[in-house]
Structure 1
Amino acid sequence: MTGRIDAHQHYWRIDARAGCWPPPELDAIHRDFGPADLAPLLDAARIDGTVLVQSLPSDADTRFLLDLADETPTVGAVVGWVDLKAADAPARIAAFASAPKARGLRPMLQDLSDDAWIDDPALDRAVDAMREHALGFDALVMPRHLDALHAFAQRHPDLPIVIDHGAKPFIERGELQPWLSAMRRLASLPNLHCKLSGLWTEAGRSARANNVRTRTRPYVRALADLFGPQRLMWGSDWPVLRVASACGGYGEWLAACEDDCAQFLGPAALADVFGGNACRFYRIDAASRGA
């Protein structure tokens, strides 16, 4: 596989998000975002395709993303949402998987009241359906979910799982443990992958361009060491990245990650971290990108 891939970005319509995140006070992202907004950033960064990820736990939002992907050549894969514990979850998953660019599912674990929601045999039928349709699992988790995620991943060793945003470590307060130990356990499982995304946002609103690299580098190094050049994939988390605009924009986040990964993994790893791994995980090829 070839091509530079942004493994994590969002599009949304703000009028469909009443009562949901983002709140109006986050004015940098409290508006509509669509392909025309991202296109110049992709061109400037020489990014060939993206993975479009859900941001609402609704069938309507997933349908919106699938329809948008059909008309957007740069979208190579869609990660949607299905109620994985619904009685008809296998049928819903089959319907989702029938879309040309459907490649994965993501329950919004960080927003659920039960931190152990994922550690439940009630998900087994849904996971069987995901494997049947070659879908991956995006884990939107925080450090408090990592033990339950480990149990889930052990129960389903044949399910490809990718951890979004490095599991959102507490970068703002400089806390490495217990996040690091939990991530080490997860990285020991061969079906676990990780996205190098979202870290500037986790650095906090006080982070600025002159210190964000210092704050985030220990976490980037940890992810590089744990997941290596074959299981780490870069993502922008755009437009959420705009919340961290004081640190820089799309191109600055990309350049910082390229620099760190070249240092920690070697220049030869960049093709995989910034494209190849996402292409393999999400089964993206030139045809799925509309090329």
Structure 2
Amino acid sequence: MIIDSHQHFWKYNPKKHAWINEEMSVIRRDFLPSDLQTVYAENGVDGCVAVQADQNLQETDFLLELAHDNDFIKGVVGWVDLRNENVERDLEKYASDKKLKGYRHIVQGEEDHNFLLRPNFLNGISKLEQYNAVYDILVFPHQLSATLEFVKQFPNQKFVIDHIAKPYIKDGFFDGWAVLMKEIAKQENVYCKVSGLITEADYNSWTPEQMHPYMELVLNAFGPSRCMYGSDWPVCLVAGKYSQVKQLTTNFIASLSAEEQKAIMGGNAVSFYGL
């Protein structure tokens, strides 16, 4: 079973989706389950986890509605304001929905390098475990030292790093990112999504070989039991086709055992998110 652990849906709105710049104009349109179902049929993908792209409760409700109407959407990573002192009200509300698996905040967009360590945010994170909710960590490499401190504070909370923490592949930067990713991987409650790589390289001239050192480091650090395949569709379309994204991972892990390949391509997402 192949599970895409990371994709998005949206009804395009120029104001709300201002982050989709000129260079990414190919994704300035609606992307809904019917679009993705076609892509999955062509690529032999069985299901997915839909991840929030907007920071409001309407986004969480929107994704849950799509998940209830489309069985191939196996789980949702939504958003609640984890800084809110009354966050438990929202966590309580969504806890009864079997498709809601966890939460994410767009930390990469926060100017404070130590956003993850703010007391009000830590308070929100401390509530997740009792609701059996996971947390997706979306950060840039310069936020990884805070990420390390952050995950150490919650040894029983399930975390996953999105997009291998968005290393600056286009610029060839590696070492600083690599050192911190290895440290973070020592925390056994932290997983890593092998996703979002081609959009961190040059959209038009990336090669699989360029990605391999980053993929290798993550695979060695987290091991095949804590890595999961994700496409980052439709964002990935600015740099390539879905088939290219999938092949990048399947070709890279082809030398692993059949069991390890199955785990990365779906099994780990099933167990991590409880799909």
The TM-score bracket by the shorter chain reads over 0.9
Paired with 1:169 and 1:25, the residues of 2 have a C-alpha distance of: 19
Paired with 2:69 and 2:259, the residues of 1 have a C-alpha distance of: 34
1:257 and 2:249 are equivalent in the alignment: yes
Change over 3 Å in CA distance of 1:136–1:19 after alignment to 2 = closer
Q: Partner of 1:220 in structure 2?
A: 215
Within-5 A mapping of 1:27-176: 27-176=25-174
TM-score (norm 1): 0.91
Aligned match for 1:273, one of 258, 264, 270: 264
- Identity percentage of aligned residues: 34
> 1:24 Cα shift?
5.2
AA matched with 2:218: L
> 1:277 Cα shift?
0.2
| 1:64-91 deviation line (CA, Å, top 9, x unaligned) | 1111111011100100111101121111
> 1:100 Cα shift?
2.3
TM-score (norm 2): 0.96
> 1:15 Cα shift?
2.7
| 1:188-239 deviation line (CA, Å, top 9, x unaligned) | 111110000000111122424xxx1121111111111111110000000000
The Cα RMSD (Å) is 1.4
More moved, 266-275 vs 6-15: 266-275
AA matched with 2:213: P
> 1:57 Cα shift?
0.9
Q: Partner of 1:178 in structure 2?
A: 176
AA matched with 2:69: E
Paired with 2:121 and 2:88, the residues of 1 have a C-alpha distance of: 10
Q: Is the 8 A contact 2:141 2:166 kept in 1?
A: yes
Gaps of 5+ in 2: none
Paired with 1:185 and 1:199, the residues of 2 have a C-alpha distance of: 21
Q: Is the 8 A contact 2:51 2:76 kept in 1?
A: yes
Q: Is the 8 A contact 1:261 1:267 kept in 2?
A: no
Paired with 1:267 and 1:203, the residues of 2 have a C-alpha distance of: 29
SS of corresponding position for 2:115: coil
Q: Is the 8 A contact 2:116 2:122 kept in 1?
A: no
Q: Partner of 1:288 in structure 2?
A: none
Q: Partner of 2:197 in structure 1?
A: 199
Paired with 1:93 and 1:14, the residues of 2 have a C-alpha distance of: 27
